[in-house]
Every structure is written in C-alpha cells, then in structure tokens.
Amino acid sequence: MRHTEFWARMENALGPPYARSWAEQHVLRELGGRTVLEALAAGEDPKVVWLAVWAELGLPARER
C-alpha cells in the first residue's frame, strides 16, 4: 500500500478534516504505543499501520 492510498482510506474513514489530526494525536498499542504519524515516520509499512487503524476504529471487513 502506498502512502497516498493510506491517506485516502484515513480520510474516507474519519473525514478529511479529522484524519490528520487523529493520526497525529491518537496512540495505538498495536503500533508500539506510537501515533500513526510516528509509525509512518519511523518507516512502518502503511499497510501495517492501516490494519492497526482499521482494528482500532472497528471498521467493517470490506474496508480492511
């Protein structure tokens, strides 16, 4: 998954105004206690990050 697809999914799930804010502030245990932005900046695969977001938000399986 490319970063552009990741951010498109984030905006679809949370809305464009909130997606970046949530990614900056919400700490995910599945990402080692990091935020989405911290995990991506550390080089984590966007697909791994998306799966953590997907699980945290309880999104439907079709959005996995």
Predicted pLDDT of residue 58: 92
Mark the ranges of the chain whose per-residue pLDDT is less than 50.
none
Q: What are the sequence ranges of the domains in the chain?
A: 3-63
| pLDDT, tens digit, 9 for 90 and up, residues 1-10 | 999 999 999 9
Q: Check if the beta carbon of residue 56 is closer than 8 Å to that of residue 28.
A: yes
Q: How many CB atoms lie within 10 A of CB 8?
A: 13
